[in-house]
Structure formats: C-alpha cells, structure tokens
C-alpha cells in the first residue's frame, strides 16, 4: 500500500463529519484553482482535490494544461505523474482501477 492508498483508506474509515474535515484540510493544500484548466464554474462550485474526489461535476470539459505533476499535495501523496488531469479523467483510484482492468483484459501486455 502506498501513501495515496493509505490516506484514502484512513479517510474512508472516518465518520462523515471527520471525512468532511479531512477533505477540507486536503483542499487547503490543493492547487487545482491555479491550474489553467480550472474555470469560473469550478470555482463557483468550490471544486478541487480531483486526485482524491474525482472528476469535475460538469464544469471542466477542456484540458487547457495540467498542474497535477507540480502540485505539492499530489507529490506528498505520491500521485500526479503517471496519471493526472484528474478533473477530466477521474481520481487516482479510478485511474488505477482502469489500468488494472486493462491489465486483466490484456494479460498485462
């Protein structure tokens, strides 16, 4: 289990109130709002932390550049380099699941 999985599992085991606090704490470290792809709709909806939460809820459609690999939070969690553009493609966990499913189908080739 890596840092990202450990953090997600820790959050999943929390009460709903503690989950909200933990996610808000992570959002404070998040730089999604500085990304060229982030837009007014996402800002008004207080979106962010896509690497953990998943895709934008209809605000972000076009990839105008990605700061995930440079994000200090993503680096601390050990994510953002293999997968990124989480706002469009889905969370790190969703991306890993898709890769695993592809490996199962192709036999790892």
Residue 109 or residue 7, greater confidence: 7
* pLDDT at position 105: 65
Residue with tokens 């993503």: 74
Give pLDDT tens digits for 39-72. 999 999 999 999 999 999 999 999 999 999 999 9
CA gap 35, 1 in Å, rounded = 29
Q: How confident is the model at residue 102 (pLDDT cuts 50, 70, 90)?
A: confident
* pLDDT at position 109: 61
Residue 78 or residue 104, greater confidence: 78
* pLDDT at position 60: 98
User: How far from 8 is each of 17, 64, 65, 105, 109, CA to CA, in Å?
Assistant: 15, 28, 26, 26, 29
């Amino acid at each position: 289990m890596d840092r990202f999985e450990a953090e997600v599992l820790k959050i999943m085991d929390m009460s709903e109130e503690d989950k909200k606090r933990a996610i808000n704490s992570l959002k404070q470290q998040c730089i999604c709002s500085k990304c060229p792809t982030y837009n007014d709709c996402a800002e008004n909806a207080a979106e962010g932390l896509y690497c953990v939460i998943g895709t934008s809820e209809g605000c972000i459609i076009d990839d105008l550049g990605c700061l995930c690999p440079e994000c200090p939070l993503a680096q601390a969690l050990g994510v953002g380099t293999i997968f990124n553009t989480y706002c469009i493609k889905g969370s790190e966990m969703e991306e890993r699941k898709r890769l695993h499913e592809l490996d199962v189908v192709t036999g790892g080739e």
